[in-house]
Amino acid sequence: MKILLVEDDESIVAALQSALTDDRHVINVATDGQMGLALAETYDYDLVLLDILIPKLDGISICRQLRSQGQQMPILLLTAKDSQTDKIAGLDAGADDYVVKPFDLEELRARIRALLRRGQTSFSSALHWGQLTLDPVSNEVMYDADPIALTPKEFSILELLLRNPQRVFSRGTIIDRLWSMEDSPAESAVTTHIKDLRQKLKNGGVTGELIETVYGLGYRLKPPPVSPSPQPNPAQPSAQPSAQPKKGDSIARVLERFKHTFIEQVETLQQVANALQAQTLTAELQTQARQEAHKLAGSLGIFGYPHGSELARQAELLLNTDLLDSAISHQFSELVAELFQEIGNQPPASAEILETAPPAALEPASRSVQPSAQSLVLVVDDDQSLTEQLQVIAAQYELTIKTASSPMSARQVMAQDFPDLVLLDLNFPNSTETGLTFLTELTRQYPTLPILVFTGRDSLADRVKVSRLGGRAFLSKSMPVHQILQTITHTLATQPTRDAKVLIVDDDPIVLEALSHLLQPWGIDVTTLNDPQQFWEMLVLTKPDVVVFDLEMPTFSGIDLCQVVRHDPQWGNLPILVVTAHTDADSIRSVFTAGADDFIAKPVVGPELVTRILSRIERNRSRRGMP
C-alpha cells in the first residue's frame, strides 16, 4: 500500500518509515502542509498519516480540503493535542482516526491495518490465481501447497497485479505505486523485476504465463488457466451465461455516482422557472443557474446525453438574456422540463461512441514475442511482388514484415500478432473495403498505432483525407524500397516510450473524473485540478507533457492560463489544448490568439481526445529530440 506521511519531526519520520516499510508499505514524506496537500492531490494514496501542527498549512485544513474535493482515502491524524475539542475538530474535518503523541508504534500499525482493511475489503484476504496463492498477512506465496521465495519488490509487484486483474500497469505507474519518491529507480528496473518474477514463478511450478506484456502500455494479469468444465447434467437446467462487461462500463459507473448531481443541477434550473412564475427571480439565483447550466452542457455530453447537453446549452444562453420576457420564460420552462425527462427516463444514447475501450481491451491478449528485438510491420497490400521486395530487404533495418492482401485478412493477422506499425495501401480491387475505411477503423481503435499510407494515388484530396483520419505519413509506391523502410524505421524510433503526463484544469469535478477515466486506460498519467488558482504550483510539481484547460472557469479562464504559460520562458512551448463548448469563429480565434495549440469541442468524444493528446505529445517530443 502507498502511504503519504505529512510530518516535520525527523525522528518520527524515521521511525514510521522503518516500521511501515517493514510492513511492505511505500512511504512518501512531506515536511510541510503545502507540500502534503499538493502530493495528496496529485498522486493516489491508500492512506494519509497527517500531523496537525506542521508548517505552512495545518493538518486540519489539509483534511478539510481533501474531503471537500471528494478524496476518500483514509486519513489518520497524529498530534500532541489531546483535548476532547481537538479530537472532535479533527474528526469533523473528515479524519477517520486520531492518534495522540507519544503513541505506541504497534498500536499505530494496528490502526493503519484496520483503516486499510476498511478501505479495501480484500486487504487481508488471500489472493488467488489458479493454484497460486498470495497471503498478504503472512507474506507467503504458494503454488499447489509449495512455497515460492520472492524478494519484497517481486512480492509487491505480484500483489499489485493480483489485486487489479483488469488493469494495465505501465512501468512508470508500477514505480509510482511501489517505490517512494526518494528511491525511484529507472524504468528498466521494473523490466528486470518482472523478468525475475516470471522466472521464479516458472521454477516454482506455475504453468502458463501469469504476467502479460501489453504492447506499448505495460503489464497486466492474464486470466488464470481454465479447468475443464464438468459435463452438464441433463436433469438440471443449464446456467445462464454471465453478462460480459461492456465497453462503456467504466463511464457508466462514474455516471451512476454523479447522476444525482445532474438532477440537483436541473433542480436549480427549475428553481429559476418557479421564481419566474412567482415573479421572485433574483440576480444571485440566475447567476447560480447559469453556472449549473454551463457545467451540465459539458458533463452530460461526456456521459452519453448529447441531446441533454444541447438542452443545457440552450438554457445557459437563455440565462444570459432577459428571462422576464414571457416568451423567453415559457421557452426556459419547457427546456427544464425536457431536461428532467432526458436525464431521468432516458439511458445514455451514445455512451459507446463517447468512450473508447483501452488498448488492453482491444489488442489481442496473445501477441507473440518476436525472436529478436526486431519491430513487426504489417503491410496491407495486394501487390505481391512489392511486398516480397520489402520482406527481402527488411532484415537490414531490423524489421519483420508480415503481409495481408486485404483489410479482412489484416484483422486476422492482427488477432495473432499485433504489429508495431501498419503500412496500408488505399486500393483493394477485390475487396468491398477501401484503405480509407480501414484507416478510419484502425485510428479510432488504436490511436497510438502508427499507420503509414502507401499508395500509387497522389492527389491532394487523398493526402488531406489521410491526414484528417490520423495517418502518420503518405508514401508513394514510386519511392525506392530503401526509402520506404527508412521512413518506417524513423517513425518507430520517434514513438513515445514513457508515460505521457497530462494536467487537466476544469472547475467541474464531474468532467475531471470522466476525462480521467477516458485517458488513464491508455497509459496516460492524468493529474486533475478543479481550482485554477493552484495551476502554477501544480504545473511546476507535475511537469506535464500536455495541459488541457476548460475555457470558462471562475477566477482565471482557460485563456488567462494559456497566456501565462506562453509568457514564461521555461514553459512557453508546452502543448496546450482548450476544451470549449463555444465553437463560433470569435471564440476559436481568441483561443488560438492566446497561444493554444488546439481546441476540443464539448461534448468531448473519447477517441478524439486521446488522439489529439497523443499527437501533441509526439510532436513535442520529436521537436525536442526526445525518444
Q: What is the 3-state secondary structure (H, E, C) of 216-258?
A: CCEEEECCCCCCCCCCCCCCCCCCCCCCCCCCCHHHHHHHHHH
Per DSSP bridges, beta strands 576-580 and 2-6 are: unpaired
Quick one: how many helices (H) and strands (E) in the chain?
Answer: 24, 21
**Choice between 260 and 471, residue whose per-residue pLDDT is larger:** 471
pLDDT of 261: 79
pLDDT of 334: 87
pLDDT band, residue 344 (cuts 50/70/90): low
H-state helical runs in 24-75: 33-42, 59-68
Lowest mean pLDDT of 368-372, 561-565, 593-597, name the range: 368-372
How many Å apart are CA 526 and CA 506, to the nearest integer? Answer: 13
pLDDT of 90: 78
pLDDT band, residue 378 (cuts 50/70/90): very high
HEC-encoded secondary structure of 477-509: CCCCHHHHHHHHHHHHHCCCCCCCEEEEECCCH
Nearest C-alpha neighbor of 463 from the set 420, 426, 423: 426
User: Which CATH entry fits the domain spanning 2-119: 3.40.980.10, 3.40.50.2300, 3.40.190.10, 3.40.800.10?
Assistant: 3.40.50.2300
How many Å apart are CA 340 and CA 338, to the nearest integer? Answer: 5
pLDDT of 232: 45
Nearest C-alpha neighbor of 77 from the set 103, 44, 48: 48
| Coil vs helix vs strand at 378 | strand
Place of cell 422576464: 324
pLDDT of 245: 32
Is residue 289 over pLDDT 70?
Answer: yes
How many Å apart are CA 281 and CA 279, to the nearest integer? Answer: 6
Q: What is the CA radius of gyration of the chain?
A: 28
Is residue 243 over pLDDT 50?
Answer: no
pLDDT of 404: 92
Is residue 547 over pLDDT 90?
Answer: yes
CA dihedral (182, 188, 189, 190) in degrees, to 10, reads 100
| Residues across the chain | 627
pLDDT band, residue 48 (cuts 50/70/90): very high
DSSP state of 57: S
Average pLDDT over residues 28-37: 88
If you average pLDDT over every residue of the chain, what do you get?
78
Average pLDDT over residues 140-147: 88
Q: What are the φ/ψ torsions at residue 461 (nearest 5 degrees)? A: -60, -40
pLDDT of 123: 52
pLDDT band, residue 82 (cuts 50/70/90): low
Domain covering 361-493 assigned CATH 3.40.50.2300 in the classification: yes
pLDDT of 369: 35
pLDDT of 22: 76
pLDDT of 605: 64
Is residue 362 over pLDDT 80?
Answer: no
pLDDT of 81: 67
Q: Note the pLDDT tens digit of each residue in 476-514.
A: 888 888 888 888 887 776 554 346 789 999 988 888 888
Q: Could you state, in order of their start, the residue ranges of all structural domains in the chain? A: 2-119, 127-221, 257-353, 361-493, 501-624
Is residue 139 over pLDDT 50?
Answer: yes
Q: Note the pLDDT tens digit of each residue in 402-440.
A: 999 889 889 888 888 888 899 999 888 777 788 888 898
Is residue 248 over pLDDT 60?
Answer: no
Lowest mean pLDDT of 174-188, 316-330, 450-464, name the range: 174-188
**Beta carbons within 10 angstroms of residue 429's beta carbon:** 6
Beta-sheet strands, E only, within 26-126: 26-30, 47-51, 75-79, 97-100
Instruction: Indicate the pTM of the whole model.
Output: 0.40
Average pLDDT over residues 158-185: 80
How many Å apart are CA 371 and CA 368, to the nearest integer? Answer: 9
Domain covering 501-624 assigned CATH 3.40.50.2300 in the classification: yes
Handedness of CA 582, 587, 590, 595 (dihedral sign): positive
CATH for 127-221? 1.10.10.10
At 187, the amino acid letter reads: E
- Is residue 295 a contact partner of residue 338, using CB atoms and an 8 Å limit? no
Residue 599 host element (H or E): strand 598-601
Which residues lie below 8 Å from residue 457, measured CB to CB, with a gap of 6+? 426, 427
- Is residue 447 a contact partner of residue 441, using CB atoms and an 8 Å limit? no
Range 257-353: architecture per CATH = Up-down Bundle (1.20)
pLDDT of 617: 73
Nearest C-alpha neighbor of 123 from the set 142, 136, 108: 136
Average pLDDT over residues 365-382: 63
Q: Note the pLDDT tens digit of each residue in 504-544.
A: 999 888 888 888 877 776 667 889 998 899 999 899 888 89
Place of cell 482565471: 556
How many Å apart are CA 45 and CA 43, to the nearest integer? Answer: 6
**Beta carbons within 10 angstroms of residue 146's beta carbon:** 10
Place of cell 476559436: 588
Q: Do domains 127-221 and 501-624 have the same CATH topology?
A: no
Residue 348 host element (H or E): none
pLDDT band, residue 341 (cuts 50/70/90): confident
Residue 43 C-alpha from the chain's centroid: 13
- Is residue 436 a contact partner of residue 414, using CB atoms and an 8 Å limit? no
How many Å apart are CA 410 and CA 387, to the nearest integer? Answer: 14
